Structure 1
Amino acid sequence: MKKEYRIKKNQDFQTVFKTGKSTANRQFVVYVLQKEEQDHFRIGLSVSKKIGNAVTRNRIKRLIRQFFLEHKMLVKERDYVVIARKPVAEMSYEEVKKSLLHVLKLAKAFKK
């Protein structure tokens, strides 16, 4: 994923946490922050050490990034912070995709 599509700085994460709106299901929590004059979305990923070892955590992050790449044209131009919960560790890509679609629909993150 290109650099301009990522949230890396702690200050950016904190801004999204404090002023953004959160939506959740059993597998993910998504914080969404609408910013003025932003021409593409940005995502920040948070996968806790409680979920598994480094291999598991990196696999989960790859799956989430792949979802956003596949749905790049549908996602609104906002900042997203995606927090993975414990059940994600045992999920396949299809299950992750279905769960992210669900939570992003709840967050009204898709273009019409």
Structure 2
Amino acid sequence: MYKLSKDRRLRKNREYQFVYHNSKSYVNKLMVLHVLPRSSSHQTRIGFVTGKKIGCAVERNRCRRLMKEVYRLHQQELENGFDLVLIGRSFLKHVGYKEAEQNMLQLFRRAKVLKKKRSL
């Protein structure tokens, strides 16, 4: 239902590098979000990154899983037509799901990649 399929992910190094060099970034205490607008007919693609400053492989993988889970549950709320790279920072390893969710949604709102809420 909420699977992150291959066509919705950034997979190649050159795709990540293109986003890094041509995007606008948004930063908070836990994460950095790089946003590159594309045509609105394309699906939004995302990549998750954690650097070695976070800690050992176990901690990096936990942080990546945490970011992926928050994204998985909120991916339907995002607009189409963006390439996103989400980078975990060292404080991410000390927080739980709720705080990670709040911070990620805050970054998405600041980047204006969330769908507009329709009033009935």
Structure 1, residues 9-36: CA drift from partner, whole Å, max 9, x if none? 1111111111111111111110011112
State the shift of 1:64 in Å.
1.0
Task: Kindly provide the amino acid, as one letter, of the partner of residue 5 in structure 2.
Answer: K
Q: TM-score, normalised by structure 2?
A: 0.87
SS of 1:109's partner is coil
Give the partner amino acid of 2:34.
Y
- In structure 2, what residue type is equivalent to 1:3? K
Number of paired residues?
A: 111
Aligned to 2:108: 104
What's 1:20 paired with? Answer: 23
Deviation at 1:73, TM superposition (A): 1.3
The one-letter code sitting in structure 2 at the alignment partner of 1:79 is D
Q: Which residue of 2 aligns with 1:55?
A: 58
Map of 2:71 onto structure 1: 68
- Structure 1: stretches of 5+ with no match in the other structure: none
Q: Residue type matched to 1:24 in 2?
A: V
Structure 1 consecutive aligned stretches of length 4 or more whose deviation exceeds 4 Å: none
SS in 2 for 1:73: helix
User: How big is each residue's C-alpha offset from its partner over 1:29-87, in whole Å with a ceiling of 9 and x where there is no partner?
Assistant: 1001111230x211111101110111111111111111111111111221100111110
Question: Aligned residues: percent identity?
Answer: 34
**Structure 2: distance between partners of 1:21 and 1:76:** 16
Which residue of 1 is the match for residue 38 of structure 2? Answer: 35
CA distance in 2, matches of 1:54, 1:27: 18
Which of the two has higher C-alpha Rg?
Answer: 2
Q: When the two structures are superposed, what TM-score results if normalisation uses the length of structure 1? A: 0.93
Gaps of 5+ in 2: none
Say which SS state the counterpart of residue 79 (structure 2) adopts. coil
Q: 2:95 aligns with which of 77, 84, 91?
A: 91
For the aligned residue pairs, the C-alpha RMSD in angstroms reads: 1.0
Tell me the amino acid that sits aligned with residue 112 of structure 2: K
